[in-house]
Structure 1
Amino acid sequence: MRPWSCIPAALLAFLPLVAPAQLPLSPPRAHTPSTTLLEALYDDPDYLSFIKLLQRAKLIPTLNRLNGGTLFAPTNEAIAKHPSWQASLTGDLRDNIQENLRQQLFYHILNYTPPALPTEQTPCEFETLHFPRSPTEPPTREPPPGPPWMPLPGGTLGGKPQRLRASFRDDSIWVGVDAFGEQGVEVVKDKVDTANGMLLGINGVLEIPPDLATVASQHPSLSYFADVLTPDMMEFLNTSSALTVFLPVDEAWEALPYYERLYLQSKFATDDLMRIVRMHAVARKHVKYADSFAPSINLTTLDGSELRIVTSEDSKITVSAADMIQKNIYASNGVVHTVSTLLIPPEAIHLTPEKYLLTLNCTTFVELLHSVDLTALVNDTSAEWTILAPRDDVISLFGDGELPKRGSEELRKMLQYHFVPGKWEPEKLKNSMLLETALEEPGLDGGRQVMDVEVTGEKKKGDDGKGMAVRFSGAGTIGDYVEIDNTLIYFISRPLVPPSDALQTALPSLELSSFLAAVFSTNLADTLKTTPRTTLLIPLNSAFKRLGMLVSAHLLAASSKTDLERVIQHHALTDVQYGAVFVNGSQRTFGTLEGSDVHVDRRANGSLVLSASGGWSGMQAELQLRNMLTQTGVIHEVSDIMIPRSVQLTVGKLVKAAKATTMATMMTKAGLDWILNGTAPPENSPWADRGLGGSGWTLLCPTDDAFKHVNLTTLYGDQEQLHAIVGQHLIPTSSTGRDPIADVQDVVNNNRPLAMDDSASYTTLSLDDSLDRGVVFRVLDGEGGTVVGVEGARGQNGKRDWARVLSWGRSTTGGGTGGVIQIDRLLLPYHPPWYLEYGAPIAVGFIGSVMIAAFFYGVRVVWRKDTTEATYEPIGGFVAEESEES
C-alpha cells in the first residue's frame, strides 16, 4: 500500500488553494514515466533516511504536489555524516512543524525541471523552494493551522526563493558550488525521470546559505573585512533584507595607507566602517543578482553614492572603477559580490589625528581623551596641534593608582597639557624655551599653562631634526615624530603631569627648604598656593646665613611672624614673569604681594641683580632664572633674602634674637635704650650733646653666659662702671668709609654691621675721654674664625680682653648702618697697671741718663789720657821759628 493512498479525499480538495502560491511549473514533457518522485525514492534503498526526514517534516504531500519538479536527494550515507539530520532521525521532535528541517529540505527541491543540466562550459543556477525568513517565534508542539505542504513565498530575499548553483567538473555534476564552480556536493546516482519530476542522488547535504555577516566572515578573500567587523556592522548585515553588498577583497584594503588600515582595525573605527559598508550596500525590493546587471545598471547605495555597473561582451562586470571578482555569493538575506577596489569617493574616509593615534599604538591615550570629552582636540583637522602622546606600553607602566581617575577633572587637565598649539618641528625648538599648551589654568587667570623644552644636539643637513634630542617637561621623545596634515605627533617616554602649586613644586629642591619651612610657619602657605599669576623668588638656604644669623633668627622667631610674612610676600611678584622677561630688559621694576617694589638690573656681564625696597644700602641678590613652572606662575631662585621697607630691624630686635637679655638690661639701665629702639637720643642727654643722634650703632653683644662671673648687682649700682662697660661694646657706625659692593657674591660683607677685616679697629663710645678706647678685629688662620679685643690691651689676663665673634646681624635703622655682633665674652675697659703705664717712660729716661753719663765719662777719660802721656825733646834743642826770631 502506497503512503499517499491513505490521504483523505477531503484534504485533496485543498490542493487548488495552494497551487497559486507555487512557482510557475515547467510545461509537461512529451513522455511521462509511470512512477513518481516518491515512488522512485521508495524503489531505491539508498534513500530510506531521506524518506524518514520527509515524513518528519510532513513534506510527502509536497512531493506529490510537484508537477515537473527536481529533487536533490542525499543518500543514507550522506545523511549519516550530517549531525543535525542524523539527530532529526533519532531524536525527539522538538516541535510539531519541524521548521528548520523543512527549510533545509526545501533547499533540495526545485518546483520545476531545468531544461538542461550544467556542462563544463555552462554552469547553472536554480531557484529552490526555500524562502529564507527571519525567525519569529519559538517552535511549538501545537499542530499547524493548515497543511504545510508547499512553502509560502516572501521572506528576506524580497519575495524570491534562495538560489542553488550547479557545475560540471571531473566528469560529474556538482551542486551547491560557488561562483567558480568549486566545492559543493557531487551527484553520485544516475538521473531518474518520473511522472512529476527528476530525481538526482547526491553524496552530501546542501547547506542553506547563512546570513550576510557569516558569509563575509567565512569567505577566504574577505579576511580583512572579517577582522574589522564590529557588532554594529554584524547587526546591520544580519537584520537587513534583500541586501546586495559589493565587498572589496583583501587586496583592495591593502591599497590603503598602512596607518589607515590599522585604524580601521581598531575599535574606534565603528562609525567609519559602518559608513564604508553602507557605501557598498544596495537595498531594493529584490536582491540584485549578476544576471540583472546586463548590459548596464545604476544602483544607489545606502550612503547615497552612485554605482555604475556595466557588463561587457565577454561577460566581464565592472562596478564603477572596480572589477567584479566573484559574483552571486548567496546569503539568507541577500547576496555578496566581491570587487577589486573600495567603492568610496575621494576623501570619503576622513582621517583625523585620533585615527592616527589609534594606529600608532596610542589607544589608551585616546581612551583617556574620550573619558574626559576631549575628542575635539584630536578630531579637528583644521587646527594645528603638536601632540605629545604616550604609547600604550608607556602608559601600562603606570598603575591605576598613578594616573588620575578616568573622567576626572584632574585627568582632563593632565591630558590638555599634552597638546601644544601649532606645529613645532624639532628645528623650530630651542633649548629652555617655553611652549603654551591647551591647558587653561585657573591659577593663571584662565591663561594657558606652559611647558619647558630641552634641546640637545644640532640639526644636521637632510636629517629633518632627527639628530636632535628633545625633551618636553622633562619627558624624552621616543623614535621619530609623525606629521599628519596640520598635526605633529611626538611619542614621549612618560605621561606629562601639569605643574602643581608653587610650594609643592619647590618642595623636592633641598636648596629651598629653609624658605619653605619659613612659609609653613606662617599663614601664607594657602596664599602662595592659590594667588593667581604670581612669580616666587625663593632664596637658597645659604641666603639665611649670608643675611646674618641674628636677622634670620629674628625673622624665624615666633614673635616676629608679621615681619617674616612681609619678607616672604616681598619675594612674590604680582604677575607671571618667565625668564625671557628679565633677560630682554636692562632695568625693570616689579610689584610684590607685600605692597612695595623690587628692582631688577641686568649687568654688562649678563647677570641679573635684584634690589629690595628696604633693608640697608646696597642690599641686593643675584636672580637665577629657573623657570620652575607652577599652577599659578613660575619660580626663580635668588642668592639672598630681600628685606622690604615695611620691616624695621632695630638693634633691640637683634639683641632679642641673640637672646642677650642681660646686655639689653645693662643698656637700659645705662640710659641707652634709645639705641635698642632705633630712635634718637633724648634731648639734653650727654649723647645728644655730643651729636650722636644721627649715627648708627653696632653693639658688641655678649651672650648671657658671658656674665656668669659678673656681680650684676654691684655692677648695676656703679653707674660709672656700667657706662664704661656698655660704652666699651658700642661702636658708632656711619655709612661712609665703606667700599661699594662690586659683586653680588660679596654682599655678605655688606650685610655685616661693619667690616670685620683683619686689624680693623673702631672707636667705642665713652663719656670719659680718658677712658676712651677702641676695639680691633683679628681674623684667625684656618678655622679659627674672627675675634675682637680691646685695642691696646695686654697683660697676664689678656684673654678677658678678647672675644670670639659668634654671629651678627645688620639693622635697618639709623640710616641702615650698624647692628649687633654677638660675642662669647664680656669686654671690660682696659686699665693698665702703673708699671706698664709709667714704666716705659721711666726706663727710657733712666737709660738715656745712663747713656749720657757714659758718654761724658768716655770723653773725660780720653782727654785725661791725652794730657798725661810722655813727650820727647828733639836733638839740638828747640829752635826758634823764624817768626819768633823776627
Structure 2
Amino acid sequence: MRTLSLLAIAICARSVVAAQSPFTLGYADQVYSDVRLDQYNVEPYETTSKEVSSYASTIVSTLSSSPYHTTFLHLLQRAKCIPMLAHIDYATVFAPTDQAWKEWAERNTPDLSISNVDRGDSVNGWLGPEGLDEWLRDEEEVILSRVAVSGDEDLERKIMDNQNWALRQHLLYHMFNYTLPLSSFLPSEVSNVTLQTTLLYPLEKQPPLSPVPEPGAPWLPHGGEGLLGGHGQRLRIARVGSTEGGKNGKVGVEWDGEGGAEIWDGKGWAKGNDSASEVPGARWVRNGVVVGIDGVLDAPPSIEQLISTHPSLSYLSSILSLSSPPKPLPSSFSSTPHLTVFAPSDEAFMERFDDIEKEYLEGPYGEEGVGRIVSQSVILGKDGKGVVWSDTLGKNDSQFNAVSGEHLEVSSSSPSMVTVNNTSSSIPDVLASNGVIHILPSLLLPPSFNLLNSAEKILLSLNATQFVSLMRSANLSEKYIGENSEGGYTILAPTDDVLDVLDKWDVPSAQSAGRMPRTLSDISKKPSFPDPSPLSALLQYHILPRRLLPTDLVDGQLLSTELQTSSLKGARQRLRVEVAEKDGKKGKGKARSGWETVGEGEVRFGGATVLGKPVKSGNNVIYLISSLLSPPDTVLQTAVSDLQLSTFIAALYASDLAKTTKRLAATTYFIPRNPAFTDLGLAMEWLLTADGKDDLRKVVKYHMVEGIIYSEDVDSGKTIYKTIEGGDVVIERAKRPHGHGPDILTIGSPTKWPSHDSGSSLPSNGELFPANVTHPDSLTDTGVIHTIDQVVLPSDVNLTVGKLIKGSKQLTMSDLMVRAGLGWILEGREPSKQEVQKAELEGRVKSWDEDGDEDEGKEDDIAHPAYIVLCPSDKAFSKLNLTYYISTPPALRSLLMLHIIPSSSLPLSSSLSSTTPPQNGQPLALYDDSIYKTLLSNSSKYGDLAFRRTGDGSWIVGIKDARGEERVRGDSARVGMAGRASVRWKYPRKDAALDLEDDGDEQDRKHQDGRDRLWEGGMTLGGGVMMIDSVLIPYEPSWFSRWGLLTITLVGISILILAAAGSIGYWFWRGRKDEYMPILVEEDGEPEGEEHA
C-alpha cells in the first residue's frame, strides 16, 4: 500500500512538474552528456534504452522499497524532489541510509544550550535545533507549530520556503543528471578517483521566484549561471576495490581518496534486482542508478571557508583578509562566482620569504603585499573560461590571465594533477561552492617580483609600524619611504616598543613650542625658508639625505639630516653619530667596519642605540634605534643643560639679549665656561653692573658668529669670521704635537681692527693666547655651540682702571686718586701737562702735549705706560686717618703712588723668567719673590713692592726692605680679586716712554717679553686693578734704623781705639820700668853675692 501511494504521488508530481517546467534531458537511444566527459574514463557515460528497459523499477520505487532509506525519501518529499526524479530519464542518486542521516544530524544539529545559538540558526540552511524530527513530519504541521510560537504565519512560511530550498540544494549534491555505468565504479588502470558533475548549481541565496515558470531544468540557477559559471558542483568517486575506494568504494572523497562516504553494502535492498553484483550497494533501474551510501554528502563550502580551514593554507589564511580582500583581488572569496585559486601552501611562503618579509605580510599593513602575491594566483571565470578543474584541462597548455595581469599557462598531464607555469600542484581540485582551489608548493611570482619594494614596507616588517603611520600622517611617506621614492636615504626608525611608551602619539607637541612664532613680529614676518610642521620636523630629523652603511660611519661625525628650517636659514640640521669598539670604548675618528656587530650597541645616533643589523632597501638603508630622536633645543635650553655655562646664560639675561638670542638664525656660539668668566675677575664685576651693560652686550655678542660653523668644517690654518657684535674673530685649526689626538681649535681676536693695526701677529685685544675649544659641536635649533676655556674680549670694549674699581664697589681709592690729580689713570688716558705738574710727576710721566706741536690741544696718539693700581678695600681705608692724608697732599700722593705700578715695569728679581706672561685676567705676572717698581720708587728707597706666595695659594704684597712688625705698620697686604684693563693703542715711536731707571732698563730691554712685543707691535698693556685687604703706608725708617748701626759702629771703633791706646800705654810703662836694677847694701859684712862667688 505504501509503495502504491508513493508511486501515485510520483506520477502526479511528474505531471505537475512537466506542466510547470518543461525541459529535455535526453532520450534513451542517445548518449546524454550534461557536462564534459571525464577524459580519463575509458568507458563513456552511456546508457541506452535497451539496458534500461530490462529494469521495471524506478529510482523512487527502489528507495520506497528500502527500509533503510526512509529518511532520505522523506527529505526528498519535503524538498519536492520526487517529481523531479520521476521526470528524469537518466540519473544517478546517492542515497544515504537512515543511520547515516541520524549520525550526521547528531553531529550537526545546533545546540540550544550554547549561548550564541538562536532558534533560527540552521546547518546548511535547513537543519535547525529540532534536528531531523521536524523534517519527518508533515510540513503544514511544522508550520502551525512554529506559528504557535512566533505568531507570524507569513514569516514562518517564508522561512520554511527558504529551508526547503536549502534542503533541495543539499539533496541535489547527491544526484547526477546522467547514469553512471558499472564501469565507473570498477577499478581502472588510469585513475581510481574520478570527478563527476552533480545537479547542484551553487547559489549564494535563494533566487526570487518568477511568477511565470522559467524554461530549463528545475535545478538550474534562475537568472544566471550560479557560482560555478553554469556548471554543476563536482563530486569525486573512488572506485570499488581500489586502494583509494576500499572494498565497497567511496563517494565524496578527496583527490587522494581520503574522506568521503563508503558505498553501502546493499543488504537492505529488495530482492529481485541484482543489477550489479560487483557493486552491492548500487541498483540500476529504469531511469538511472541508486547507490546507497553510509554517509551524508556535504556540499563544498566557499573558497573563503576552505582557505580559513584547510591545514595546508593556514599561513595564507593568517595573512589574507578574507572578509575584505585587498586589491586587486575580488571583493569576496565567498560570493564572487567561478574563481580558480592556485593557493600557495605554507611551505611555499616559508621557502620564498625571509623573516623580515614575513613580518611585513603578517603586520597590519601587509595586506598590500598579500594582494600582490595572491593576485598572481587567482583566475576570474570570465571570457567563457569558467572554473579550471583538472578534468577540464588537456595535456596542452591552456592560456589564462591572473587577476594581476600575469599570463598563466595551465595544463593537466595526468589525472588529479595540475601544472601552472611549470609548477605542479601538491593538492589539486579542492572543490568549493564558488570555484576550485589548487594548492601549489611554490608561489607563482614573476622573476622581477619584489615584495618589499619600498622602505615603508621594510619598516612595517621591522616592527616600526607606528613610525610609518607618523610618516603617512605628515605626508612624508611617498617622498622618503614610498614605492616612488628616489631613494638614497638613511632612515633611523624607532620601533613600536619605543613609541608605545609615549603619550598616545603626543610626540609632536613636545616640539611644537619651538616651531611656533614667538612674537607678533615673528608672525608678521614671512620666513625666508618655509618651516615644516612640528611632526614633519620631528620625522625629517630621523632621515639622512644619503645612504650610510656601517663602514661610512665615523665616531663624532655630524651627519646632515633632512630637517631644514628657517632657524638654520635652510641649512640641514645635524645629528651626531657615536661609534664604539667592541669593549665599549669610543674611538674618536674611527670607522665602523663590522656589519654583523652593528646591532651590539656599538653605534649610536643622537644618543639612541642601534638595535640589530641595518637593513638595506634598494638605495636606502634602515637602522632601528632604541629611542625617538628629538631635534636640538634652543640655545638657552641647550646651554642651561650644562651647568658650566650658567654664567653665560646669566650674562644673556643681564644684557637683555636672551630673547634676541632665540631668534638669531644660523648662528654659532662660542660660550666660555664659568671659570673663564671667573678669570676676568673685576672685569666681569664691571660688566655685570648697570653702567657696564653696554660693554656686556658687546662681549656677549662678540661670542656669536654669523653662520653655522661646525668643527669639522673649519679649514686648517686661520679663518676670519664676522660676529654679531660687528667685529671679526679668527678661528684656527692646528695639528696637535706629534699628530696624536684631534686637531686643536682656537678662537681669538684678529690683528686688525677698525682704525687700529697691531701688526701681523698680535691680537687686537692684547690677549697673547687665544681661547681653546674644549667641547665642540653642541647642536641647537639655530646653529651650534662650542665651549671655550676663556672669554674673548672685543677690541672696542674699553675696560679702564676706573671701571674695574667701580666693579669692585670699593670707591674710596678712586675718590682719593681724583683728589690727588691722578684721575687720568682711572680714565685710561695720557695726562695733560697741568695734571703731571699737579701730581708732581715731572720727569717720570710725559704729558700728551710734550710729544709735538702738531697735536696741541688734542689727545695724544702715543700711549704712555698704563698702570696697575693696588686698590685697598673701603674697610681698609676706614682704619686709616684719611683726614690727615686729605689735608696733606704730599702724603696722599706718596700713599697713592706706592699703590700704582707702571705696566712697563719689569720684575727686578725672580726665580722664573721675566718672559712668563700674566695669567688670564691678571694685570701682573706673579711668581714668588717677584719685585715691581711703583711710581714712588724714584723718590723713595722703599718704593718697590715684593710679592710672595703663601701656603694656601694666595699672594702677599709688601714693601721691599721694610722693617717692622708684620701687618702692623702697613708694609704688607693680602692680594684679592684682580682685573685687567684693555690694551692701549699707539703708533710706533722711539721715545714712546721715559725710562724709570738710567742703568738697569738698558739691560732689561735685551730680554723682551710679551709686554715688549705688545709695545713694539702697536699697543701696550692697559694695566689693571688688584684688590688688597689693607693700605700700604709708605715706609719711613726709625732714627735707630737710620743711625743706629753707624752709632754702634762709631762707639765700637772708639772703644777699640781706647782699648788699643790703653794697651799700648801700659806696655810702654811696663817696659820703661824694667830698665832700672835695684842695688843691694849689706850691713856688717859683705854682700851675699860675693860670698857665693
TM-score by length of 1: 0.86
- Cα deviation for residue 323 of structure 1 reads 1.2
Q: Which residue of 2 aligns with 1:661?
A: 811
- The alpha carbon displacement at 1:398 in A equals 6.0
Tell whether the 8 Å contact from 2:702 to 2:727 is kept in structure 1 after alignment. Answer: yes
1:692-703 correspondence to structure 2 within 5 Å: 692-693=846-847, 694-703=864-873
Gaps (5+ residues) in structure 2? 27-31, 35-46, 110-122, 135-141, 147-155, 240-244, 267-280, 513-532, 583-589, 738-742, 751-763, 848-863, 985-1019, 1078-1093
Structure 2 counterpart SS, 1:156: helix
Shift of 1:4: 7.9
CA deviation string 1:546-575 (max 9, x = no partner): 22x211222233443332222122122222
| Residue 566 in structure 1 maps to residue 670 in structure 2 | no
Correspondence for 2:218: 150
| 3-state secondary structure, aligned to 2:333 | helix
Alignment partners' CA distance in 2, 1:406 and 1:331: 55
What secondary structure is seen at the aligned counterpart in 2 of 1:624? Answer: strand
The answer on 1:334 being equivalent to 2:440 is: no
Q: Report what 1:875 is aligned to.
A: none
What letter matches 2:474 in structure 1? V
Residue correspondence of structure 1 range 25-40 to structure 2 within 5 A: 30-31=52-53, 33-40=55-62
Q: In structure 1, what is the equivalent of residue 5 of structure 2?
A: 2
Shift of 1:347: 1.0
Q: How many residues align?
A: 863
> Equivalents in 2 of 1:379, 1:102: separation in Å?
53
Is 1:129 equivalent to 2:299 in the alignment?
no
Alignment of 1:491-530 (within 5 A): 491-530=624-663
> Following the alignment from structure 1 to structure 2, what is the Cα–Cα distance between the partners of residues 161 and 738?
123
Which of 567, 589, 597 does residue 728 from structure 2 map onto? 597
DSSP-derived class of the 2:729 partner = strand
Which amino acid is the alignment partner of residue 443 of structure 1? S
Change (3 A) 1:4 1:867: farther
- Structure 2 vs 1, CA of residues 520 and 347 (structure 1 numbering), >3 Å: closer, same or farther? farther
Q: What letter is aligned with 1:97?
A: N
1:18 equivalent in alignment to 2:21: yes
Q: Among residues 462, 465, 476, which one is paired with 1:374 in the alignment?
A: 476
Whole-angstrom distance in 2 between the partners of 1:135 and 1:852:
156
Question: Which of 664, 677, 689 is equivalent to 1:531?
Answer: 664
Q: Are 1:295 and 2:395 matched, yes or no?
A: yes
Aligned-pair CA distance for 1:460 = 13
Q: Give the alignment partner of residue 176 of structure 1, picking from 252, 269, 290.
A: 252
Of 218, 237, 251, which aligns to 1:166? 237
Aligned to 1:588: 719
**CA displacement at 1:157 relative to structure 2:** 1.4
Matched residue, 1:273: 370
**How many angstroms does 1:205 deviate by?**
2.7
| 1:734 pairs with one of 904, 928, 933 | 904
Amino acid at match of 2:98: N
What is the CA distance between 1:663 and its match in structure 2? 2.4
Instruction: Spell out the pairing of 1:199-598 with structure 2 (5 A cutoff).
Output: 199-230=290-321, 231-233=324-326, 235-259=331-355, 260-283=357-380, 284=382, 285=384, 286-296=386-396, 297-312=398-413, 317-352=418-453, 353-375=455-477, 376-379=479-482, 383-393=487-497, 400=504, 403-404=507-508, 409-457=533-581, 466=597, 469-483=602-616, 485-547=618-680, 549-582=681-714, 584-598=715-729
Instruction: State the Cα RMSD in Å.
Output: 4.0
> Shift of the alpha carbon at 1:848?
3.7
The 3 A distance-change label for structure 1 pair 496 and 77 is same
Aligned partners of 1:514 and 1:541 also within 8 Å? yes
After superposition, the C-alpha distances for 1:24-55 in whole angstroms (9 at most, x for unaligned) are: 78765532755544444444444444344444
Structure 1 residue 466: Cα displacement: 4.4
Secondary structure of the residue aligned to 1:756 is: coil
Q: Which amino acid counterpart does residue 555 of structure 2 have in structure 1?
A: N
Amino acid at match of 1:277: V
Q: Distance in 1 between matches of 2:510 and 2:63?
A: 69
SS at match of 1:564: helix
**One of 245, 253, 263 as aligned partner of 1:187:** 263
Structure 1 residues 322 and 715: CA distance shift in structure 2, 3 A: same
Q: Determine the C-alpha separation between the residues in 2 that align with 1:443 and 1:136.
A: 69
Q: Structure 1 unaligned segments of length 5 or more: list them.
A: 873-886
- How far residue 809 of structure 1 moved from its aligned partner, in angstroms, is 0.5
Structure-to-structure mapping, 1:702-717, within 5 angstroms:
702-710=872-880, 712=882, 716-717=886-887
Aligned residue among 794, 807, 812 for 2:963? 794
Amino acid at match of 1:790: I
Counterparts in 2 of 1:289 and 1:354: CA distance versus 1, 3 Å: same
Shift of the 312–150 alpha-carbon distance from structure 1 to 2, 3 Å rule, reads closer
Contact 2:679/2:920 (CA < 8 Å) preserved in 1?
Answer: no
Alpha-carbon distance in structure 2 between the residues aligned to 1:844 and 1:310: 141
Greater shift in the superposed pair: 24-33 or 327-336: 24-33
SS in 1 for 2:305: helix
**2:185 partner letter:** P
Distance 1:344 1:619, change over 3 A: closer
- Aligned-pair CA distance for 1:807: 0.6
Q: Contact 1:38–1:64 (CA<8 Å) still a contact in 2?
A: yes
- Aligned position for 1:674: 824
What is the rounded CA distance, in whole Å, between the counterparts of 1:710 and 1:313 in structure 2?
Answer: 126
**Shift in alpha-carbon separation, 1:406–1:16, aligned structure 2, 3 A:** farther
User: Quick check: 1:96–1:144 contact (8 Å CA) kept in 2?
Assistant: no
| Residues 1:855 and 1:733: Cα distance change in structure 2 (over 3 Å) | farther
Aligned to 1:829: 1034
Q: Residue 633 of structure 1: CA displacement? A: 2.7
3-state DSSP class of the match of 1:648?
A: coil
Question: CA 1:425 to 1:871, structure 2 compared with 1: closer, same or farther past 3 Å?
Answer: farther
> Relative to structure 2, which stretch is displaced further, 425-434 or 342-351?
425-434
Q: Contact between 1:437 and 1:451, CA under 8 Å: does it hold in 2?
A: yes
Range that drifts further, 726-735 or 293-302: 726-735
The C-alpha deviation readout for 1:600-633, integer Å capped at 9, x for no partner, is 3437736444323554342532223522233333
Cα distance change, pair 221–42 in 1 and its aligned pair in 2 (3 A): same
Cα distance change of structure 1 residues 326 and 421 upon mapping to structure 2, 3 Å threshold = same
The whole-number CA distance in structure 1 between the counterparts of 2:353 and 2:367 is: 18
Q: Relative to 1, partners in 2 of residues 1:129 and 1:641: Cα closer, same or farther, differing over 3 Å?
A: same
More deviation, 218-227/461-470: 461-470
Number of the residue aligned with 2:162: 97
Aligned to 1:30, what secondary structure does the other structure show?
helix
Which of 112, 121, 129 aligns to 2:178? It is: 112
* Aligned residue number for residue 1001 of structure 2: none
Aligned to 1:628, what secondary structure does the other structure show? strand
- Whether the aligned pair in 1 keeps the contact of 2:10 and 2:82 (CA below 8 Å) is no
In 2, the alpha carbon distance for the partners of 1:746 and 1:57 equals 119
1:749 pairs, out of 898, 902, 919, with: 919
Cα deviation code 1:223-244 (max 9, x no counterpart): 3322321242484433432222
2:289 equivalent in structure 1: 198
* Partner Cα separation in structure 1 for residue 939 and residue 13 of structure 2: 158
Shift, 1:646, TM fit = 2.9
Query: 1:164, CA displacement in angstroms?
Result: 1.9
Cα deviations by residue, 1:442-465 (Å, 9 ceiling, x for unpaired): 433222233333334499999667
State the alpha-carbon separation in 2 of the partners of residues 147 and 39 from structure 1: 28
Distance in 2, Cα, partners of 1:769 & 1:838: 23
- Contact map agreement 2:553 2:591 (CA 8 A) in 1: no
- 1:748–1:502: structure 2 CA closer, same or farther, 3 Å change rule? farther
**Separation of aligned partners in 2, 1:604 and 1:104:** 93
CA contact (8 A) 1:434 1:450 kept: yes
Percent identity at matched positions? 33
